[in-house]
Structure 1
Amino acid sequence: MQRLVSAVVAAALVAAPTHVLAWGSTGHRIVGEAAMKALPSEVPAFLRTRAAVAEVGELSREPDRSKGAGKIHDHDRDAAHFVDLEDDGRLLGGAPFLPLPPTRADYETALRTVGQDSWKAGYLPYSMIDRKQQLAQDFAYWRVLKAAEANPKWKAHRKWFTADRIRREGLILRTLGELSHFVGDGSQPLHLSVHYNGWGDYPNPKAFSTARLHGPFESDLVKNTVRARDVEAGMTPLRLCGCSAEQRTVDYILSGAKFIIPFYEMEKAGGLGQGDPRGPAFATERLAAGASELRDVIVEAWRASAEAKVGWRPVAVADVLAGKVDPYPNLYGID
Structure 2
Amino acid sequence: MRPVVRLSAAVAAIGLAMIPAVAASWGNTGHRLIGVLAIQGLPTEVPAFLRTAQVAQDMGEFAREPDRSKGAGRVHDHNRDPAHFVDIDDEGRVLGGPVFAEMQPTRQEYEKALQAAGTDSWKAGYLQYSTIDAYQQLVHDFGYWRVLTAAEKTAKGKQRAWIKADKVRREKLLLANLGNLAHYVGDGSQPLHTTTHYNGWGDYPNPKGYTTERIHSPFEGEFVAGAVTMNGVRAQMKPFADCNCPIDKRVLGYLAKTQTYVEPLYQMWGEGNFRPGSTKGAEFATERLAAGASELRDLIVLAWRDSAKTKVGWPAVTVADVEAGKADPWTALLGKD
- Note the C-alpha offset of 1:315: 0.6
Which residue type is aligned with residue 57 of structure 2?
Answer: A
Query: Given the superposition, is the C-alpha separation of residues 67 and 128 from structure 1 closer, same or farther in structure 2, using an over 3 Å criterion?
Result: same
8 Å contact from structure 2 (residues 94, 124) kept in 1: yes
Q: Kindly indicate whether the alpha-carbon contact (under 8 Å) linking 2:226 and 2:276 is maintained by their aligned counterparts in 1.
A: no
User: What CA distance in whole angstroms lies between the structure 2 residues aligned with 1:156 and 1:175?
Assistant: 28
Q: What residue number does 1:137 align with?
A: 140
Aligned-residue Cα RMSD (Å) equals 1.6
Question: Could you tell me whether the CA contact under 8 Å between 2:143 and 2:310 is conserved in 1?
Answer: yes
Tell me, yes or no, if the aligned pair for 1:208 and 1:264 is still in contact at 8 Å: yes
User: Partner letter of residue 180 of structure 1?
Assistant: A
The one-letter code matched in structure 1 to 2:192 is: L
| 1:95 Cα deviation from its structure 2 partner | 3.1
Which position in structure 2 is the counterpart of 1:62? 65
Question: What is the identity, as a one-letter code, of the residue corresponding to 1:312?
Answer: W
- Secondary structure of 2:26's partner? coil
- Mapped contact 1:25–1:219 kept (Cα < 8 A): no
For the 8 Å contact 2:185–2:296, the answer to whether it is kept is yes
Offset of residue 94 of structure 1: 3.9
In structure 1, stretches of 5+ residues that fail to align are: 11-21
Distance (Å, rounded) in 1 between the aligned partners of 2:195 and 2:2: 16
Partner letter of residue 34 of structure 1? Answer: L
Matches within 5 A, 1:228-267: 228-267=230-269
Cα offset, 1:234, TM superposition: 0.4
Q: What is the identity, as a one-letter code, of the residue corresponding to 2:26?
A: W
List runs of 5+ in structure 2 lacking aligned partners: 6-24
Picking from 54, 70, 77, the partner of 2:80 is 77
Q: What is the TM-score normalised by the length of structure 1?
A: 0.92
Deviation at 1:177, TM superposition (A): 0.7
| Moved >6 Å (runs of 4+) | none
Cα pair 1:148 1:154 within 8 Å, conserved: no
Alignment correspondent of 1:23: 26
**CA–CA distance in structure 1, aligned partners of residues 307 and 156 of structure 2:** 22
Q: Shift of the alpha carbon at 1:261?
A: 0.4
Q: How does 1:31-50 map to 2 (within 5 A)?
A: 31-50=34-53
Q: Secondary structure at the match of 2:152?
A: helix
1:184 aligns with 2:172: no
Shift of 1:98: 2.8
Match of 1:224 among 223, 226, 237: 226
Distance 1:54 1:211, change over 3 A: same
Q: 1:293 aligns with which of 268, 283, 295?
A: 295
2:94 partner letter: L
